[in-house]
Chains A and B, each alone.
Chain A
Amino acid sequence: MGKLGRLAINSEGFIFDPETGNSYTINKTGLFILNLLKEEKKTEEIIEKLTEEYDIDREEAMRDITDFIEQLRLFGLINAEEYND
Chain B
Amino acid sequence: MKQRYEKPTIFKLHTGLMNKFGSFAYPLSRRVRTEIDSIPIKELIEQFGTPLFVFSEKKLRQKFKEIKNAFTTRYPNVEFTWSYKTNYLDAICAILHNEGETAEVVSEFEYEKARRLGVPGEQIIFNGPYKPKKILKTAITEGARINIDTFEEINDLEEVAESIGIKPKVGIRLNMDTGIHPQWSRFGFNLESGQALDAIKRISYGKHLELSGLHCHIGTFILEPKAYETEIKKMVEFAYRIEDEFGFKIEYIDIGGGFPSRSKLKGIYLPPEIAIPSINEIADRISSALLSSLRPGDFPKLIIESGRAIVDEAGYLITQIHATKRLPDGRKGYILDAGVNTLFTAFWYHFNIEIDKNITGPSEPCILYGPLCMNIDVVDDLAYLPPLPRGTNLILSPVGAYNVTQWMQFIRYRPNVILIGKNGEIDLIREMENIEDIVRREHLPERLTLRKEQ
Counting contact residues on chain A (CB < 8 A from B), the size range is 20 to 34
B306-338 CB contacts (< 8 Å) to partner A: 324, 326, 328-330
The majority secondary structure among interface residues of chain A is helix
Which residues of A are in contact with B by a Cβ distance under 8 Å? 15, 22-30, 32-33, 52-56, 60, 63-65, 67-68, 70-72, 74-75
Which residues of chain B are near A32, meaning CB under 8 Å? 8
A68 adjacent to B5 (CB under 8 Å) = no
A27 adjacent to B12 (CB under 8 Å) = no
Give Cα distance in the complex from A63 to B334, angstroms: 13
A33 adjacent to B8 (CB under 8 Å) = yes
Most central of A32, A72, A74 by chain B CB within 10 Å: A74
Q: Which residue of A lies closest to B27 (CB)?
A: A25
Given known pairs A25-B13, A63-B324, the reply for A54 and B5 (CB within 8 Å) is yes
B3 adjacent to A30 (CB under 8 Å) = no
Given known pairs A67-B326, A71-B326, A74-B328, the reply for A26 and B13 (CB within 8 Å) is no
Give Cα distance in the complex from A39 to B326, angstroms: 25
Min Cβ gap B55→A in Å is 34
Which of B5, B324, B387 touches A55 (beta carbons < 8 Å)? B5
Q: Which residue of A lies closest to B7 (CB)?
A: A64
Which residues of chain B are near A56, meaning CB under 8 Å? 5
Q: Which residue of A lies closest to B332 (CB)?
A: A67
Which of A22, A27, A55, A64 touches B3 (beta carbons < 8 Å)? A55
Q: Mind listing 5 A-B residue pairs with CB under 8 Å?
A: A24-B12, A24-B13, A54-B3, A68-B8, A72-B10
Does B241 lie at the interface of the complex (its beta carbon under 8 Å from any beta carbon of A)? Answer: no
Does B2 lie at the interface of the complex (its beta carbon under 8 Å from any beta carbon of A)? Answer: yes
Does B11 lie at the interface of the complex (its beta carbon under 8 Å from any beta carbon of A)? Answer: yes
Which residues of chain B are near A29, meaning CB under 8 Å? 5-9
Most central of B2, B6, B12, B362 by chain A CB within 10 Å: B12
A27 adjacent to B361 (CB under 8 Å) = yes
Min Cβ gap A73→B in Å is 9
Give Cα distance in the complex from A64 to B359, angstroms: 15
Give Cα distance in the complex from A65 to B326, angstroms: 12
Q: Which residue of A lies closest to B4 (CB)?
A: A55
Top 7 closest pairs, chain A to chain B, by CB: A30-B8, A54-B5, A56-B5, A29-B8, A55-B2, A68-B8, A70-B326
Does B202 lie at the interface of the complex (its beta carbon under 8 Å from any beta carbon of A)? Answer: no
Does B390 lie at the interface of the complex (its beta carbon under 8 Å from any beta carbon of A)? Answer: yes
B390 adjacent to A27 (CB under 8 Å) = no
Does B389 lie at the interface of the complex (its beta carbon under 8 Å from any beta carbon of A)? Answer: yes
A24 adjacent to B5 (CB under 8 Å) = no
Which residues of chain B are near A23, meaning CB under 8 Å? 12-13
Which residues of chain A are near B3, meaning CB under 8 Å? 53-55
Which residues of chain A are near B8, meaning CB under 8 Å? 26-27, 29-30, 32-33, 64-65, 67-68
Which of B10, B324, B328, B361 touches A24 (beta carbons < 8 Å)? B10
